[in-house]
Amino acid sequence: MLYWLLKYVILGPLLRLIFRPQVEGLENVPEAGPVILASNHLSFSDSIFTPLIVKRKVTFIAKAEYFTGKGLKGWLTKMFFVGSGTIPVDRSGGRAARAALDTQLQVLRSGGIAGIYPEGTRSPDGRLYRGKTGVARLALESGALVVPMAMLNSDAIQPTGQIIPNLGRVRIRFGAPLDFSRYAGMAGDRFVERAVTDEIMYELMELSGREYVDVYAQKAKARPREPVPA
């Protein structure tokens, strides 16, 4: 109930007025049935704008730290994620990736929309980084269609580390659904999962117009940042 109150009564109307979302290809999101919404990840606000735009409920997973913050900021962050239907996942252990996958599989098996960021974390510099194969495993185990979605300028609206967003018109683009039923029964094959993941990342590159870097974003964050070509 809180999800729909936030979307249509409390936050949604205000956010639409302020950020005036410009959306392309929303008709590519099926009106019913399980769907994986696979997006690039530029900003904290991606998880705010996506549920705002998509008519159906979108369930994301997020690191458990978002639910355990201290003070007013921590409480507000927790309330937002709880209200938006986001599910906390402990990413510290080796079993965490499987726990996240199982959580999203439950969403898909109930006919819902599972939101996922294949890069695994926010881009450190706006470029598109190598996708982790969890999105492929999710698609192959669920049989759900994958709809690629590109956030085009959310990093300009809310750069990493900035709490209060800049004023601007958020732009989002949805691609045609991807059907991987030709790989049915092949979940667990690392070559197939890499091929599926790379196909999804290629579509995100085309949709977003962002430079692709064949390195995991988490590794890129851990090393000195390379200059981005003008």
pLDDT at position 201 is 98
Is 206 a domain residue?
yes
Domain total in the chain:
1
Q: Which domain holds residue 205?
A: 2-11+26-222
pLDDT at position 87 is 77
Which of helix, strand or coil describes residue 134? helix
pLDDT at position 189 is 96
pLDDT tens-digit profile, the chain (230 residues): 667 776 767 778 888 899 999 999 999 999 999 999 999 999 988 988 998 899 999 998 877 777 777 787 677 677 777 766 777 776 655 576 677 788 899 999 999 999 999 998 899 999 999 999 999 999 999 999 999 999 999 999 999 888 888 999 999 999 999 999 999 999 999 999 999 999 999 999 999 999 999 999 988 888 765 555 54
d(CA 214, CA 36) in angstroms, rounded, equals: 23
Is 227 a domain residue?
no
Q: Domain holding 178: CATH number? A: 3.40.1130.10
d(CA 221, CA 165) in angstroms, rounded, equals: 22
Q: Is the model's pTM score more than 0.85?
A: yes
Is 119 a domain residue?
yes
pLDDT at position 77 is 72
pLDDT at position 93 is 55
Is 95 a domain residue?
yes
d(CA 87, CA 57) in angstroms, rounded, equals: 13
Is 230 a domain residue?
no
Q: Is 78 exposed, middle or buried (0-12, 13-18, 19+ CB in 10 A)?
A: middle
pLDDT at position 225 is 56
Is 20 a domain residue?
no
